[in-house]
């Protein structure tokens, strides 16, 4: 609920501080998260891909477009990342048997091993350290507010996404 007594400038200043903290948090997550799994030869971006591909819904593979939408990244950035991960043997790109024009990204056995046996235990330790001062209530509220912010930003993005689709 918007506080009617708060001036527009005060509201914008507060919003700016929130977004800057999110920016700092994302940068720190990339830096410290990558450090947590660097011995496995992956980055936080790669761990996001491995995590997405390890889900039950993606066991048969997922298209680059669907994976990009799930991770909320551009197809171009994801394509480069997938190419590097394919070179490293973590994923492979295969023809979609249902639509031979489409390609699917699939987690390889090597990628599954790196994810499940090597990276995931380190990621869980990293999560526990990063959230050590958070109560269950804190985590629940944080998740709620981040989901709410993400929904709002998705609505802001919607006209841009629709324009992009029209251009294609």
Residues whose CB is less than 8 angstroms from the CB of residue 51 and which lie 6 or more positions away in sequence, other chains included:
115
Distance from C-alpha of 117 to C-alpha of 124, rounded to nearest angstrom: 12
Angle at 30 between CA 68 and CA 120, to 5 degrees: 80
Mean pLDDT across 41-54: 96
Q: Is the dihedral of CA 62, 53, 85, 160 positive or negative?
A: positive
Strand pairing category for 91-96 and 62-63: unpaired
What residues have CB less than 8 Å from 4, skipping those under 6 apart? none
Whether 60 has a pLDDT exceeding 70, the answer reads: yes
pLDDT at 167 over 70: no
pLDDT attached to residue 102 = 83
Q: 100: pLDDT confidence band, cut at 50, 70 and 90?
A: confident
């Amino acid at each position: 609920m918007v506080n009617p007594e708060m001036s527009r400038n005060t509201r914008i200043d507060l919003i700016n501080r929130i977004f800057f903290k999110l920016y700092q948090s994302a940068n720190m997550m990339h830096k410290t998260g990558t450090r947590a799994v660097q011995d496995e030869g992956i980055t936080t971006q790669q761990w996001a891909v491995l995590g997405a591909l390890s889900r039950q819904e993606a066991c048969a593979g997922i298209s680059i477009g669907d994976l990009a939408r799930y991770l909320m990244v551009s197809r171009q950035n994801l394509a480069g990342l997938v190419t590097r991960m394919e070179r490293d043997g973590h994923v492979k790109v295969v023809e979609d048997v249902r639509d031979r024009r489409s390609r699917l990204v699939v987690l390889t056995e090597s990628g599954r091993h790196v994810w499940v046996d090597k990276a995931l235990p380190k990621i869980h330790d990293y999560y526990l350290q990063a959230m050590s001062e958070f109560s269950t209530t804190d985590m629940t509220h944080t998740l709620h507010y981040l989901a709410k912010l993400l929904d709002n930003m998705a609505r802001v993005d919607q006209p841009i996404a629709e324009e992009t689709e029209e251009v294609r």
